[in-house]
Amino acid sequence: MKTNLIALTVITTGIFFTSCDKEEVPAPVTVQTKSVSNLPGDTILGLTSMGQPYGSGKYTLYSLETNSIISNTDSATSKWDIGFRGTTIITNSGNSGPGAGGAFVYTGLFGDLVQIPTDSTFRIDNAPTAYAIKSGSGNGWYSYNGATNLITPIPGRILVIRTASGKYAKIEIQNYYKGGVTPDATASDNDKLMKQRYYTFRYTFQSDGSKKF
């Protein structure tokens, strides 16, 4: 686990869909599933005098299309698709950005989501209370345990993303802590705070604009 902390690793898998209609030329859809680890999302710099942890307050903007971090100076462009700040994930939509983005949370297995249901509705951001990916424990992608002060991604929650350019992707958040390892319940508060806000996730981006993965 700890050997590939820094690198943003890319694992490629090919999935082929074959048309049932034998008359037509099979049009294989190739999508790549990529893994991103240790992506910082406004990591904690210290505590305020009131005991509140604080970071820089800036989102880490990310392009799913290019699999790279986008500079905050480009926040008013359609270069980025999603942004991370603490547990909040924004999409390039609504009042978060100028893009054609949006998102909703799908319950199921990452691999089972091969086609975005036609009746699904993409939400758009209306910060600071109603994000496309709902904020708050149990509402969106994570659950917070008040007894241990730990954040755990809810297994089986898939973020279905419409990118800034109107294409589709699916994301599974796997861990919220540095190195992709959640600290023990008995770890110190300092450990729990200083190691959090590091995202490990995998995602599939469909470049052809279809809703198939």
Q: Give the CA radius of gyration of the chain.
A: 18
Site string for another protein, 110-149 (x = CB under 8 A): x----------------xxxx-----x-x---xx-x-xxx
Task: Choose the binding region for another protein from 2-10, 21-29, 67-75, 150-158 (rule: CB under 8 A).
Answer: 150-158
Give the shortest CB-140-to-another protein separation in angstroms: 12
DSSP 87-116: TEEEESSTTT-SSS-EEEEEES-TTT--B-
Least distance (Å) between residue 212 CB and another protein: 21
Candidates 7, 10, 27, 109; binder of another protein (CB under 8 A) is 109
Interaction residues for another protein, span 160-179 (CB under 8 A):
172, 174
Measured distance CA(147)–CA(175) in Å, rounded: 19
On whether the CB atoms of residues 162 and 197 are closer than 8 A, the answer is no
| Residue 47 touching another protein (CB under 8 A) | yes
29, 114 contact by CB (below 8 A): no
Strands, E, within 118-183: which ranges? 142-145, 150-153, 157-162, 168-177
152 binds another protein (CB under 8 A): yes
How many angstroms separate the CA atoms of 5 and 51, rounded?
30
Contacting residues toward another protein, per CB under 8 A: 44-47, 50-53, 107-110, 127-130, 136, 138, 142-143, 145, 147-149, 152-156, 172, 174, 185-186, 188-190, 193-194
